[in-house]
Structures are given as structure tokens and as C-alpha cells.
């Protein structure tokens, strides 16, 4: 795969699968024999809905967490749950892979920190929650090592740890996060109609009698 010929890599080195199976010469593309060999060479998903790669199922991310690490590696060897075995393997790019795993873009803690605190879902201003999953797709906490001092947290924003988001039925934050839902437009003031209202559906009840007022 490398033109320099100094690195010898094949598809299975990053994606996994079985490189020992071969299609017999003369086998037609998509013929039963061809497809049988392809299935043995490729890692198959647990969820049958992933078999049709051109039509992914709804809520793919949730189902993706339930897939095996072998299938995750086959489809996306750069997924951080398997990256230490692929891109981060010794002799490849371990330093870069490690650096990416510590980036705030991997856990989106800044999003949940702003959303939960600014909308009353969590009382502390320092970020406390983020998304991170282990090799089996189970939510996990992330801890800074060594643990930062209170001054480092105050002055530099170094967070001691990030925890997974609580389940909805456990945290019960109320309706403060409804601000993220798509809502309607602001209701017009009485006597001050809005020209952008849907035709025939004015909010001003006085319009029923043709009594429009303008300020």
C-alpha cells in the first residue's frame, strides 16, 4: 500500500477479516460462489440491518455501539475503540492516535457542559459529563492522570474526570432541555399582526372581525 515499499500492509492489517480465502478464477461478480467467498473474507455484523451498506438503519449510532469490535475495525479502523490495534499499533502512528484520544472533540464535554449548566440541568459550571465508550461499546468515565490541582482547574480548565450522561429516567432534569427541540414561532401581539404568519391562521382574535390595528 505504500509506494516506498518500506511498509508492507494489506487490507486485513487494518480492517481484519480473513485473507486466506480466494475467489476461483472465472467466478462472476456477485455470483453465488463469489458472494460466499466474500462473506467468509469479510467480518459480518451482528445486526443484519448493517448488511446493506447502501441503506443504513435509523439510529445507526445506537446500533453501532452493540456491534463487535471486530466488525467496528472492519468498517472503520479509525474508531477510537479499536484504533490502538490499528492506527495506534507499534510501528505505525501510536503517538498521533494517543493524542487524538485525549482531544475534547472525542467526548464533546464542552457541549454538555454548556447545555446542561446554561439550561439548569446541572448546577456546577465546570464540565462534568462527556461521551466515551470502551471496546465493547459500554459508556465509560474518563479520568485525568495525574489528577489536576484545584488551581489548574480554575486557571487552565483541566477537568479531573468526565462521567457518562445519566439515563433519562435517573436524572430527571425536567423540561429545561426542551430548548433543543424544534418549536413554533413567537406568538404575535394582540393588535399587532405579523406578516409572516401562515395565511388564514392569524393569532390575533380581533382579525376575525376585521379589526386590525397597527402601532
pLDDT by residue for the chain (215 residues), tens only, comes to: 567 777 778 889 899 999 898 888 888 888 888 889 988 999 999 988 888 767 777 778 788 889 999 999 999 999 999 999 999 988 889 999 989 988 888 898 988 888 888 777 788 888 999 989 999 989 999 999 899 999 999 999 889 999 998 776 666 555 555 556 555 666 667 777 677 766 655 444 444 444 343 43
Between CA 39 and CA 137 the distance in angstroms is 24
C-alpha cell at 69: 469490535
Structure-block grid coordinates of residue 189: 401581539
18's CB contacts (< 8 A; 6+ apart) are 12, 40, 41
Residue pair 188/203 in contact (Cβ under 8 Å)? The answer is: yes
- Whole-angstrom Cα distance, residue 48 to residue 33? 21
Is the entire prediction scored with pTM above 0.75?
no
Cis status of the peptide bond prior to 30, with omega within 30 of 0: no
Amino acid at each position: 500500500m505504500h509506494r516506498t515499499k518500506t511498509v508492507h500492509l494489506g487490507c486485513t492489517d487494518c480492517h481484519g477479516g480473513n485473507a486466506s480465502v480466494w475467489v476461483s478464477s472465472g467466478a462472476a461478480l456477485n455470483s453465488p460462489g463469489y458472494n460466499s467467498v466474500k462473506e467468509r473474507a469479510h467480518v459480518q455484523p451482528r445486526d443484519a440491518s448493517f448488511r446493506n451498506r447502501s441503506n443504513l438503519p435509523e439510529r445507526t449510532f445506537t446500533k453501532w455501539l452493540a456491534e463487535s469490535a471486530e466488525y467496528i475495525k472492519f468498517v472503520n479502523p479509525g474508531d477510537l475503540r479499536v484504533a490502538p490495534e490499528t492506527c495506534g499499533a507499534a510501528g505505525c502512528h501510536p503517538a498521533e492516535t494517543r493524542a487524538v484520544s485525549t482531544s475534547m472533540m472525542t467526548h464533546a464535554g464542552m457541549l454538555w457542559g454548556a447545555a446542561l449548566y446554561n439550561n439548569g440541568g446541572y448546577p456546577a459550571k465546570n464540565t462534568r459529563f462527556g461521551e466515551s465508550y470502551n471496546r465493547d461499546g459500554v459508556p465509560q468515565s474518563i479520568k485525568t492522570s495525574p489528577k489536576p490541582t484545584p488551581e489548574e482547574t480554575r486557571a487552565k480548565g483541566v477537568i479531573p474526570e468526565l462521567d457518562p450522561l445519566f439515563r433519562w429516567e435517573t436524572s430527571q432534569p425536567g423540561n429545561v432541555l426542551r430548548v433543543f427541540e424544534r418549536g413554533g414561532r413567537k406568538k404575535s401581539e394582540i393588535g399587532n399582526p405579523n406578516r409572516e404568519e401562515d395565511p388564514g391562521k392569524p393569532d390575533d382574535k380581533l382579525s376575525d372581525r376585521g379589526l386590525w390595528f397597527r402601532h
